[in-house]
Chains A and B, each alone.
Chain A
């Protein structure tokens, strides 16, 4: 059961209204976190030490020394996310990716930002001390800048990802999230789902859901690229745990996974680090584009997809599992939903929502979706989700090639 006691949600004014943080670009955050960004693996330890014992500070970073357009777009999208109030970029000093350029881009978004190279500030100890000083000043500025404003469902973008799926995921977990997505869209909000690699065999179903002829073309092209990719790498998005949980083929898993997209028309396809240009239901394509190196691997783990959904502006991500999972996410809270009542009991500290009650007949699908919406409103109001409470802040970046976002979906409006 969601813990929705009124005393836990001081910022929740009434159903569907709560207080958020207004950002200069007009978007609203549900958290006012600080973000430390490292620009190469060599700076990651110092970045993590700077953020240690700073409950409001999350860390992301890119491990490679050679820069990558896709990864830089991803870092910038996360650094200017509505849940982020200020940013510290930390580099070693040798790498291609430039911390000061990240800080400049963040300042251009109207947020305070600082940067430094470790090589210019001594070693580990002095760099950590310097970073903590910068963090304290960023925190003061972020707190002063944060304008508290009312927020509604129309201000929310929510992502959905599934992982550790089993035979219950397609029957309960994903369909309940799909119903909640329908409600969010009907209330004027924005919903994003991804995992195109788990839409095997569903080309006709996807295209039939298109909101416009152009969206139909995008969905068809996205499917075709994905299938070529899977054939080329000879790997489909189905894993030993899925098999053990009763899923036999990628086709079966795909039908269940697609259910999290609900039933509303799909407005179009966005790519990694793009934002939906308007409200409604959107599909996120994280599959690498064809490139001379076949550059990058898609959906190598759940965290990558979650980061992509957050980079698209999701203030909250719903994570649907059957077998169970113990991840969280940096920047935006993860809400864990399971359709497997046994998993809910076994992982009670990690699981936020038991959609398995639909299978036992305790709740109808609509009742479950309603309860899930209440839980989302609680988390948007400031209640910590279970992964947040446990301190989870996972992130994952890799080299990948995607062409520069198209102007149509790029939404620079």
Chain B
């Protein structure tokens, strides 16, 4: 997308929003949805359907979407950062943390 992509914030308490288009590194992202309209700068490339941090999230802090905790930060996350497998993991799924950040390919299964 050439124009500023928007990202959808589902619930007012969410600290992440979902990209509705692709954001380039350094590009402004318009936040739409439940909270006040706002703009933030994507610190890196973020693809459609992926999440951008709306606020600073400390290591071990909750990642909130839909108003519920969807995972825990595995390191400190800055506003505008891509939030995904490299910095967020499930509270339950033991395999979470073993997936390739881009393809989702599992790294915990032996093929030999």
Interface, chain A (partner B; CB < 8 A): 166-168, 170-171, 200-201, 230-231, 234-236, 238-252, 255-256, 322, 340, 342, 359-360
A201–B85 alpha-carbon span in the complex (Å): 19
Please pick, from A239, A242, A246, the residue contacting B47 in the complex, using a CB distance under 8 A.
Answer: A246
Give chain B residues whose Cβ lies under 8 Å from the Cβ of A242.
104
CB-CB nearest 4 A-B residue pairs: A167-B49, A243-B104, A246-B49, A240-B104
A3 to chain B, nearest CB (A): 27
**Given A171-B8, A252-B71, A322 contacting B49 (CB threshold 8 A):** yes
List 13 contacting pairs A-B, 8 Å CB cutoff, sorted by A. Answer: A167-B19, A168-B49, A170-B10, A240-B99, A240-B106, A246-B48, A246-B49, A248-B88, A249-B70, A249-B71, A249-B90, A251-B92, A322-B49
B25 interfacial contact with A, CB 8 Å: no
Give chain A residues whose Cβ lies under 8 Å from the Cβ of B71.
248-249, 251-252
Tell me the chain B residues, 4-55 only, with Cβ under 8 Å from chain A. Answer: 8, 10, 18-20, 47-51
Tally of A-B Cβ pairs under 8 angstroms: 102
Is B8 a contact of A241 with CB atoms below 8 Å? no
Is A243 a contact of B70 with CB atoms below 8 Å? no
Please pick, from A166, A244, A248, A360, the residue contacting B103 in the complex, using a CB distance under 8 A.
Answer: A244
Please pick, from A166, A170, A236, A239, the residue contacting B90 in the complex, using a CB distance under 8 A.
Answer: A236
Q: Is the interface of B mostly helix, strand, loop or mixed?
A: loop
Please give me the residue from chain B that is nearest to A359 by CB atom.
B20
Give chain A residues whose Cβ lies under 8 Å from the Cβ of B103.
240, 243-244
A136–B83 alpha-carbon span in the complex (Å): 59
**Given A167-B19, A248-B88, A251-B92, A239 contacting B104 (CB threshold 8 A):** yes
Give chain A residues whose Cβ lies under 8 Å from the Cβ of B66.
170, 252, 255-256
Give chain B residues whose Cβ lies under 8 Å from the Cβ of A359.
8, 20
**Please, what's the 1-or-0 string for B83-107, where 1 marks a CB less than 8 Å from any CB in chain A?**
1110011111111100110111110
Is A241 a contact of B104 with CB atoms below 8 Å? yes
A41 to chain B, nearest CB (A): 27
**Given A234-B94, A340-B49, A255 contacting B70 (CB threshold 8 A):** yes
A247–B100 alpha-carbon span in the complex (Å): 13
Is B65 a contact of A250 with CB atoms below 8 Å? no
**Given A167-B50, A167-B51, A171-B10, A250 contacting B93 (CB threshold 8 A):** yes
A230–B90 alpha-carbon span in the complex (Å): 14
Give chain A residues whose Cβ lies under 8 Å from the Cβ of B90.
236, 248-251
A168–B7 alpha-carbon span in the complex (Å): 11
**Given A234-B95, A243-B104, A246-B51, A171 contacting B18 (CB threshold 8 A):** yes
A245–B84 alpha-carbon span in the complex (Å): 10
Interface size of B in residues (CB-CB distance below 8 Å): 36
B76 interfacial contact with A, CB 8 Å: no
Is B48 a contact of A243 with CB atoms below 8 Å? no
Give chain B residues whose Cβ lies under 8 Å from the Cβ of A322.
49
Please give me the residue from chain B that is nearest to A241 by CB atom.
B104
Give chain B residues whose Cβ lies under 8 Å from the Cβ of A340.
48-49
A7 to chain B, nearest CB (A): 37
B86 to chain A, nearest CB (A): 10
Give chain A residues whose Cβ lies under 8 Å from the Cβ of B99.
240, 243
Is A167 a contact of B48 with CB atoms below 8 Å? yes
Is A249 a contact of B89 with CB atoms below 8 Å? yes
Give chain B residues whose Cβ lies under 8 Å from the Cβ of A230.
92
Give chain B residues whose Cβ lies under 8 Å from the Cβ of A236.
90, 92-93, 95
B56 interfacial contact with A, CB 8 Å: no
A235–B106 alpha-carbon span in the complex (Å): 12
Give chain B residues whose Cβ lies under 8 Å from the Cβ of A171.
8, 10, 18
Beyond known contacts A200-B92, A251-B70: 12 more, CB 8 A cutoff:
A167-B50, A170-B66, A240-B99, A246-B19, A246-B47, A248-B71, A249-B70, A249-B71, A251-B68, A255-B68, A359-B8, A359-B20
A256–B8 alpha-carbon span in the complex (Å): 14
Please give me the residue from chain A that is nearest to B68 by CB atom.
A255
A360–B63 alpha-carbon span in the complex (Å): 26
B35 to chain A, nearest CB (A): 15
Please pick, from A168, A246, A250, the residue contacting B92 in the complex, using a CB distance under 8 A.
Answer: A250
Please give me the residue from chain A that is nearest to B33 by CB atom.
A171
A404–B63 alpha-carbon span in the complex (Å): 41
A241–B8 alpha-carbon span in the complex (Å): 21
